A and B are shown apart, each in its own frame.
Chain A
Amino acid sequence: MTRAKTPARILIVDDHPMMREGLTTQICNAPDLAVCGEADDVAEALRLVSELNPDLVIIDISLKTGHGIDLIKQIRGSHPKMKMLVNSMYDESVYAERSLQAGALGYLNKQTARETLIDAIHIVLAGKTYISPAMTDRILKSRIGGMIEPGKSPIESLSDRELEVLTLIGQGQTTSGIARQLHLSVHTIDTYREKLKLKLNLANSAELNRCAVQWVLENG
């Protein structure tokens, strides 16, 4: 962060004037950052990305016309290396994962932006992923029960009951069969199945069944 270094150039895409002003003021207050342009809809944003080739684009999810997620995908299509940070009023739980999947490097909640904006910009500019500590915690917790340790298999994070259910699935038992055997309701078994899918990062029931069979073959 020496003075000699050229400040990073940032393009702001947000349809709300006060928001743009707040962002601009705060960014420009940082010596190593500068706002190079502002846009309030998808078309203008795409034009400015091509024209200005900024170091970073800050994108709001809801725009005057079009959707922020679509804009991320389009920019990624035309500028695969463009760094993008989503700044939205929506809860992280809804859009954070989707934004990252679409190609953004970070997700910032507008509610907390005034404290975390500059940090988030620096992290993304460095090519790393930014999501709020609370969201990081939640994603980890939902995936691996919050007990992951480096180098451990996600299966080790399962509770005893979850492991029992996974084993029974792997043995080819149906949900109602497992429910009978464990004296639980099918709904409770379904709850475990959903938890297993989240913790083991499986997209659907078929993947869960495959994974369970694999586990039984290797460990049964």
Chain B
Amino acid sequence: MAKQQTSSQSTEAKTLRQRAEMLLHAKSAVMPTMPTADVQALVYELNVYQIELEIQNEELRQSQLELADSRDRFSDLYDFAPVSYVTLDKDGRILEANLTAATFLDVERKSLIGANLSTWIDNDAQDDFFLHRKSVFSGNARQICDVNMHKSDGTPMVVRLESIAQEAELQRQSRTALIDVTQQQAAQSALRDLTDTLEQRVAEQTHEVQLLAAAVSHLAEGIVITDDELDWPGPRIRFVNEAMCRITGYTADELIGQSPRVLQGEQTDRRTLSHMKRELAAGRPVLCELINYRKDSTPYAAELYITPLFNSKGHRTNFVSIHRDITERKKLQREVLGIAENEQRRIGQDLHDSVQQELAGLGMLAETLLENLSRTTDKSDDPQASRLRELAIKVVNGIARTHQDVHAIARGLVPVRIDTQGLMDALRELALRTEELAGVTCAFKCEQPVEISDNSTSTHLFRIAQESITNALKHGQPEHILIALESDNGQPILQVADDGTGFDVTEQTRGLGLKTMLYRASLIGASLKVSPVETGGTLVTCRVFLGGGGNLR
């Protein structure tokens, strides 16, 4: 094509020459008449024209060349573009195709031209191809359609046809790009499958969660889930189940967002709380018993099992606490223990009221018998009479000994006399006896009368005082011991202080004595604290909660 153009260009140039020569001859006719100067000027003029024309011609040739070059470039772009392009007629015959298209369909380009694209389209997609062509040729809009195709060697693929109609000289043509979307489709279908699986799993898990939620809501144990803030202001409640509401009397809305502190109060043991905090901070689960308070401010005994929850990265995210109301269990426990205690008291009381009286009476009878025997035998030397007298002495002494033993037993069983002032008397007596037996200064301080109607409470308090003194004498070598009984708004407080060397409170916790004291305190709903005294010695404080904690006792 370029050569043809060049030859037509030279034809043009030739005509231009002839025309120029003709012009020159016409001029030369007048030339002789013209003055030489004028001829010279004309020649010069003509020469300039000629050069101008030559320059023009050269520029034309240059742009011709550039045009051809750019055509070649576009042709290359067309052929080697990464996308397959074909030009189709109405029936799907291929009018033009780029090299990529030939490679794509695995066929030579020359056998591609004139062939029908439907040759490479699967049978089941022929309808789609037909409809695609139809919509392309009926409008000007770009049309897209995915069809299943196969290469000449039979390799299946999914191809996206993107077509747009174009007006050509004789007929409309379709410029169509073929894009392999096999992998994309595969990815999409895999994605779809994944989505389906996910949805199914979500559905399953939702169901599971619903089952769990239903189970959790019907549990007898309260469940509390909090976030993991251990420091002030403390963890916030994120979830509570129905049982928790039932136990505490709060609604879920009232608890969520609050700190579990709303459930704690005066009787809630601070030491247990700090132990709990320590364990949880270390990531360990804790089991403990606490006094908590309901919304109506009645206390109840709660058993808590709290576990930290961790996410997959090992960060602590929440605490779950299982909350059991053990008030009834405690009550039962106390009742069972109370039975033994009452039985003990009953036996002690019986010994005091009847056996001891009987023995005292018998002792008097025997004494009288001995006296009378002595009176008569003093006057005679009858060996029989003196034997009788010896026997009577044995009886008198035997009764006295038995009476003493029974008295000791009864006293051990019933240390505190059964009336409201019994504890004060018993503690005063304890102070006196301690002073007599241990040789220390021991005083009982009681500024105002403290009356306790429940003998079981009195007895336990007395035993706690007794145990405290035993501990003080055993470990501290004190010189002074003070037993103090006072009342703080009707709540009895028992204190036993000594000025001995004191003992290691933490180590002693493991000792049996203190354990028993703690146990006794828990039975009567009292708190017990053992602390060192600044100037040396130990202070035991037992604080009883009457009234408010009534249902716990």
A191 on interface, CB distance cutoff 8 Å = yes
A204 on interface, CB distance cutoff 8 Å = yes
Q: Which of A110, A138, A194, A198 contacts B360 (CB 8 A)?
A: A110
B480 on interface, CB distance cutoff 8 Å = yes
Nearest-Cβ distance from residue B403 to partner chain A, whole angstroms: 6
A90 on interface, CB distance cutoff 8 Å = yes
Nearest-Cβ distance from residue B436 to partner chain A, whole angstroms: 8
Using known A-B contacts A16-B358, A187-B533, A193-B445, determine if residue A25 contacts B482 with beta carbons closer than 8 Å. Answer: no
The B contact surface, by secondary structure, is helix
Using known A-B contacts A22-B362, A90-B417, A185-B499, determine if residue A16 contacts B400 with beta carbons closer than 8 Å. Answer: no
Binds B, one of A43-51, A71-79, A112-120: A112-120
Interface centre among A22, A94, A183, A205 (most CB of B within 10 A): A22
A184 on interface, CB distance cutoff 8 Å = yes
B398 on interface, CB distance cutoff 8 Å = no
Closest Cβ neighbor of B407 among chain A residues: A111
A52 on interface, CB distance cutoff 8 Å = no
Nearest-Cβ distance from residue A25 to partner chain B, whole angstroms: 5
Inter-subunit contact A94/B361 (CB<8 Å): no
Q: Which of B360, B396, B443, B534 contacts A19 (CB 8 A)?
A: B360
A70 on interface, CB distance cutoff 8 Å = no
> Which residues from A are CB-within-8-Å of B407?
89, 111
Closest Cβ neighbor of B421 among chain A residues: A94
Closest Cβ neighbor of A206 among chain B residues: B447
Using known A-B contacts A26-B364, A29-B372, A114-B400, determine if residue A191 contacts B482 with beta carbons closer than 8 Å. Answer: yes
Inter-subunit contact B447/A204 (CB<8 Å): yes
B residues 377-421 touching A (CB-CB < 8 Å): 396, 400, 403-404, 407, 417
| B 508-523 binary contact with A (CB < 8 Å = 1; else 0) | 0000000000000000
> Which residues from B are CB-within-8-Å of A62?
353
Inter-subunit contact A93/B428 (CB<8 Å): yes
A110 to B407, CA, bound (A): 11
Inter-subunit contact A191/B480 (CB<8 Å): yes
> Which residues from B are CB-within-8-Å of A193?
443, 445
A residues 66-118 touching B (CB-CB < 8 Å): 89-91, 93-94, 110-111, 113-115, 117
Inter-subunit contact A191/B364 (CB<8 Å): no
A171 on interface, CB distance cutoff 8 Å = no
A91 to B436, CA, bound (A): 15
Using known A-B contacts A18-B357, A194-B445, determine if residue A111 contacts B404 with beta carbons closer than 8 Å. Answer: yes
Nearest-Cβ distance from residue B207 to partner chain A, whole angstroms: 66
Q: How many residues of A contact B (CB 8 A)?
A: 40
B328 on interface, CB distance cutoff 8 Å = no
> Which residues from A are CB-within-8-Å of B362?
18, 22
A90 to B421, CA, bound (A): 14
B165 on interface, CB distance cutoff 8 Å = no
> Which residues from A are CB-within-8-Å of B404?
111
B82 on interface, CB distance cutoff 8 Å = no
> Which residues from A are CB-within-8-Å of B109?
none
Interface centre among B364, B444, B445 (most CB of A within 10 A): B364
The A contact surface, by secondary structure, is helix
Inter-subunit contact A25/B480 (CB<8 Å): no
> Which residues from A are CB-within-8-Å of B352?
89
Inter-subunit contact A23/B353 (CB<8 Å): no
> Which residues from A are CB-within-8-Å of B417?
90, 94
A204 to B267, CA, bound (A): 32
Interface centre among B361, B362, B428, B442 (most CB of A within 10 A): B361
Nearest-Cβ distance from residue B6 to partner chain A, whole angstroms: 126
> Which residues from B are CB-within-8-Å of A53?
none
Q: How many residues of B contact A (CB 8 A)?
A: 49
> Which residues from A are CB-within-8-Å of B495?
187
B67 on interface, CB distance cutoff 8 Å = no
Using known A-B contacts A94-B417, A138-B432, A142-B432, determine if residue A185 contacts B497 with beta carbons closer than 8 Å. Answer: yes
Closest Cβ neighbor of A182 among chain B residues: B535
Interface centre among B367, B403, B428 (most CB of A within 10 A): B367
A194 to B365, CA, bound (A): 44
Closest Cβ neighbor of A91 among chain B residues: B429
Inter-subunit contact B535/A16 (CB<8 Å): no
> Which residues from B are CB-within-8-Å of A195?
441, 443
Inter-subunit contact B499/A188 (CB<8 Å): yes
Inter-subunit contact B444/A187 (CB<8 Å): no
B481 on interface, CB distance cutoff 8 Å = yes
Nearest-Cβ distance from residue B150 to partner chain A, whole angstroms: 103
Using known A-B contacts A179-B535, A184-B499, A187-B499, determine if residue A23 contacts B432 with beta carbons closer than 8 Å. Answer: no
| B 466-507 binary contact with A (CB < 8 Å = 1; else 0) | 000000000000011110100000000001011100000000
Q: Which residues of A contact B (CB under 8 A)?
A: 16-23, 25-26, 29, 62, 89-91, 93-94, 110-111, 113-115, 117, 138, 142, 179, 183-185, 187-188, 190-195, 198, 204-205
17 A-B residue contacts at CB 8 Å? A18-B358, A22-B364, A22-B368, A26-B367, A89-B360, A94-B417, A110-B357, A111-B403, A113-B363, A114-B363, A187-B480, A187-B495, A188-B499, A190-B497, A191-B442, A191-B443, A194-B482
Q: Which residues of B contact A (CB under 8 A)?
A: 352-354, 356-358, 360-368, 371-372, 396, 400, 403-404, 407, 417, 425, 428-429, 432, 436, 441-445, 447, 479-482, 484, 495, 497-499, 533-537, 539
Q: Told that A20-B361, A188-B497, A193-B443 touch, could you supply 16 new A-B pairs with CB distance under 8 A?
A: A16-B361, A18-B361, A26-B364, A93-B429, A94-B429, A110-B356, A110-B357, A111-B404, A113-B364, A114-B366, A184-B499, A184-B535, A185-B499, A185-B534, A187-B537, A188-B482
